[in-house]
């Protein structure tokens, strides 16, 4: 700590420990992905390290970007050309650090995307499911139906989710996993949940929902993953006294 600043390495160590990044098998490196200046006074947070978010960070004088979706994904072309060069050039030219936490920020029991969705929708978490316990399962605070559940999600996220299933079905138990978690459908089904909420849905998942009777609510990948990094930003401000601002770059998906 340096008054109103935190050393980059102290911030990295704190985030890695808080989010337990070392325990996850992930599709990208978690933690500090691009090294910038040593002292961090201002952080811009967002869902994805896009060109638009980088430009916003530059405009607002940020020392670091903190995101859920960073760079260097497995099976991705690793050459720094085209849009990758443009992004990296701007980041390096302004000496801005890039921190990214993918699965660790989905799974954290208090600050993660799934925990924060539950908090905002007034669901109580009773268990976890899926690979590396990324998925959450729990109960709504009051008796509800699938249709009412979808309506509450729409109010929170500001977008109409895609609902597959009977809107009148009663929901005693709900399973959820933010982002592109359609592959967790069968694991969610095994929990005994009446509905599964995620960000995306695949063609084959529609048939599974219809055939099994468990409702599927696809609420948007970006929309369901805004709240983890928002909560983490507030936590860092409280912990270190530095400015952390969430910037929502519009994304219809």
Rounded mean pLDDT of 55-68?
98
Show the domain range for 145: 107-221
State pLDDT tens for residues 124-155.
Answer: 999 999 999 999 999 999 999 999 999 999 99
State pLDDT tens for residues 111-126.
Answer: 999 999 999 999 999 9
| Helices 51-59, 82-93: crossing angle, 10 deg rounding | 20
pLDDT at 1 over 80: no
Residue 3: what pLDDT? 56
Could you give the dihedral angle defined by the CA atoms of residues 126, 203, 83 and 85, in that order, rounded to the nearest 10 degrees? 50
Eight-state DSSP code of residue 33:
E
Same domain, yes or no: 204 and 235: no
Token pair in block for residue 5:
């600043």
Q: Looking at the domain assignment, is residue 251 inside a domain?
A: no
Entry pTM:
0.96
Burial class (CB within 10 angstroms; exposed 0-12, middle 13-18, buried 19+) of 250? exposed
Q: Looking at the domain assignment, is residue 79 inside a domain?
A: yes
Q: Looking at the domain assignment, is residue 1 inside a domain?
A: no
pLDDT at 31 over 60: yes
Same domain, yes or no: 160 and 237: no
User: 171, 163 in Cβ contact below 8 A?
Assistant: no
Cβ neighbors of 93 (< 8 A, separation 6 or more) are none
Mean pLDDT of the chain: 97
pLDDT at 28 over 90: yes
Residue 2: what pLDDT? 52
Same domain, yes or no: 14 and 53: yes
CA–CA distance, 251 with 244 (Å, rounded to integer): 21
Task: Compute how many other C-beta atoms are within 10 angstroms of the C-beta atom of residue 238.
Answer: 9
Burial class (CB within 10 angstroms; exposed 0-12, middle 13-18, buried 19+) of 219? buried
The total domain count for the chain is 2
Same domain, yes or no: 122 and 213: yes
First to last CA, the chain: 38
Same domain, yes or no: 32 and 138: no
Q: How confident is the model at residue 4 (pLDDT cuts 50, 70, 90)?
A: confident
Residue 73: what pLDDT? 97
Could you tell me the CA-to-CA distances from 6 to 1, 64, 215 in Å, in that order? 4, 11, 46
Of 139, 141, 137, 142, give the one whose Cα is nearest residue 127. 137
Q: Looking at the domain assignment, is residue 238 inside a domain?
A: yes
Same domain, yes or no: 38 and 59: yes
Q: For residue 232, what is the domain's CATH number?
A: 3.40.1390.30
Q: Looking at the domain assignment, is residue 24 inside a domain?
A: yes
Same domain, yes or no: 113 and 201: yes
Handedness of CA 56, 62, 66, 71 (dihedral sign): positive
CA–CA distance, 197 with 163 (Å, rounded to integer): 9
Q: Which residue is listed with tokens 């660790």?
A: 104
Same domain, yes or no: 206 and 122: yes
Same domain, yes or no: 77 and 145: no
| Beta-carbon-side half-sphere exposure of residue 155 (alpha carbons within 13 Å) | 9
Rounded mean pLDDT of 202-230?
97
């Amino acid at each position: 700590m340096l008054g109103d600043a935190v050393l980059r390495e102290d911030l990295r160590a704190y985030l890695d420990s808080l989010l337990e990044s070392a325990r996850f098998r992930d599709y990208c490196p978690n933690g500090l992905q691009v090294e910038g200046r040593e002292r961090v006074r201002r952080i811009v947070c967002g869902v994805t390290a896009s060109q638009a978010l980088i430009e916003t960070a530059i405009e607002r004088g940020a020392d670091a970007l903190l995101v859920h979706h960073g760079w260097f994904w497995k099976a991705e072309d690793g050459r720094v050309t085209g849009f990758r060069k443009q992004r990296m050039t701007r980041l390096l030219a302004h000496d801005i650090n890039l921190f990214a936490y993918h699965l660790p920020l989905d799974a954290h029991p208090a600050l993660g995307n799934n925990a924060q969705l539950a908090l905002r929708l007034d669901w109580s978490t009773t268990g976890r499911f899926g690979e590396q316990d990324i998925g959450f399962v729990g109960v709504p605070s009051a008796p509800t139906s699938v249709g009412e559940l979808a309506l509450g999600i729409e109010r929170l996220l500001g977008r109409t989710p895609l609902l597959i299933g009977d809107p009148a079905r009663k929901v005693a138990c709900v399973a959820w996993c933010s982002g592109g978690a359609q592959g967790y459908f069968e694991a969610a089904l095994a929990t005994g949940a009446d509905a599964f909420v995620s960000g995306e849905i695949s063609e084959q998942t529609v048939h599974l929902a219809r055939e099994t009777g468990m409702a599927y609510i696809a609420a948007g990948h970006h929309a369901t993953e805004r709240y983890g990094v928002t909560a983490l930003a507030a936590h860092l401000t409280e912990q270190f006294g530095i400015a952390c601002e969430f910037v929502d770059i519009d994304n219809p998906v």
